[in-house]
Amino acid sequence: MTKENIATWFQGLQDDICQELEALDGKGKFQEDKWQRPGGGGGRTRLIEGDLIERGGVNFSAVHGDLPDNIAAALKIPDKQFFATGVSIVLHPHSPLVPIIHMNVRFFETSNGLWWFGGGIDLTPHYVHPDDSKLFHQKLKGTCDAHHADYYPKFKVWADDYFYVRHRKETRGIGGIFFDRLGEQDGFTRESRFDFVKAVGNTFIPIYKEQVARNIDRPFTEKEKKWQYIRRGRYVEFNLVWDKGTKFGLDTDGRTESILMSMPPTANWVYNHQPEEGTAERETLGYLKKGINWI
């Protein structure tokens, strides 16, 4: 299982997901930008703007070269020749009743043989419905449990901690799973880790289809659209202030337009916005906490 095999599989995943998302959207078609990284490697950035998805990015990249000193120090790795490949997705739907979804699967290797996988899937509903959240987490748990009993409990907590908007004291959404540095600890092999990561990648479409199907036909109001724009503002805050992946990309002179494809088309900020007691918006804020057992 070489790094080239892994990159090839990720590339195929990007193709499959794009095809499925076009079918799901019904109208939007992906546009592709191929890019080269000056330091080595490159990627395929794909953007869709359709009927269901107001803006969605599905990115593949496989890059290599010298790691900047500060990044090598942050990652605590001595070797500075690296290879990194992955698929990264953020979808911003038109409807405020359909959640934002994010997925990332990635593989990292250094020239002296250190390697690991990372990734995850998390959901950011503008309005949280515990029934939908339960289904989402059940599906993720199913995917995890097929590979190791510890995965879901551990990666669920990790997602709660990672997707946390510290300055707002709220989670970005209802979490999901997040994992990093999955290497050959505890008897795992490269194959067994990769099998799990493949399963996560393959879970993306069925899990999002289900969330869309449950909500796409519900009509929405102007008030709900405004709330969506405010929640998108929080999404922007998380990604630009706290997200390590975004920071890594911007620090290593990654392709800005690909990294910031996670930004929503429109976001609003309202000073000191506090939804009234008894509203759906207020109820959603009550769900943006760590440690909720959705299942």
- Pick from 32, 33, 161, 184 the residue near its own copies by CB under 8 A: 33
Beta-carbon contacts of residue 232 (< 8 Å; ≥ 6 apart): 92, 100, 264, 266, 267, 268
Positions 162 through 191 that interact with its own copies (CB under 8 A): 166-168
- Pick from 32, 256, 282, 291 the residue near its own copies by CB under 8 A: 256
- Mapping DSSP to helix (H, G, I), strand (E, B) and coil, where does residue 38 land? coil
Interaction of residue 285 with its own copies, rule CB under 8 A: no
Separation between Cα atoms, residue 29 and residue 18, nearest integer Å: 9
Interaction of residue 233 with its own copies, rule CB under 8 A: yes
**Identity at 253, one-letter amino acid code:** D
Residue 153 C-alpha from the chain's centroid: 19
Size of the site for its own copies (CB under 8 A): 31
Interaction of residue 55 with its own copies, rule CB under 8 A: yes
Interaction of residue 89 with its own copies, rule CB under 8 A: no
Candidate ranges 107-115, 127-135, 213-221, 235-243; the one touching its own copies (CB under 8 A): 235-243
- Mapping DSSP to helix (H, G, I), strand (E, B) and coil, where does residue 289 land? coil
Candidate ranges 1-9, 99-107, 266-274, 281-289; the one touching its own copies (CB under 8 A): 266-274
Residue 27 phi, psi (nearest 5):
-130, -50
Q: Which of 94, 102, 126, 137 is catalytic?
A: 102
What one-character-per-residue DSSP string does 156-207 give?
A: HHHHHHHSEEGGGTEESSSEEEEEEEE-SGGG--HHHHHHHHHHHHHHHHHH
Interaction of residue 241 with its own copies, rule CB under 8 A: yes
Interaction of residue 263 with its own copies, rule CB under 8 A: yes
Which of 175/264 has CB closer to its own copies? 264
Distance in Å, CB of 243 to its own copies, minimum: 10
Interaction of residue 268 with its own copies, rule CB under 8 A: yes
Helix 3-25 to helix 190-215 angle, to the nearest 10 degrees? 10
The strand pair at 170-171 and 100-110 is best described as unpaired
**Identity at 83, one-letter amino acid code:** F
Interaction of residue 5 with its own copies, rule CB under 8 A: no
Give yes or no for a contact between 58 and 30, defined as CB atoms under 8 angstroms apart. Answer: yes
- Pick from 6, 47, 84, 144 the residue near its own copies by CB under 8 A: 47
Distance in Å, CB of 53 to its own copies, minimum: 13
Interaction of residue 260 with its own copies, rule CB under 8 A: yes
Distances (CA, A) of 23 to 26, 29, 49, 209: 5, 9, 13, 11
Interaction of residue 39 with its own copies, rule CB under 8 A: no
- Pick from 5, 221, 266, 279 the residue near its own copies by CB under 8 A: 266
Contact mark string toward its own copies, 203..232, x via CB under 8 A: --------------------------x---
147 classed as catalytic? no
Q: Binding residues for its own copies, per CB under 8 A? A: 33, 47, 55, 57, 166-168, 229, 233, 236-237, 240-241, 247, 250, 253, 256-257, 259-261, 263-272
Q: Which residues are catalytic?
A: 102
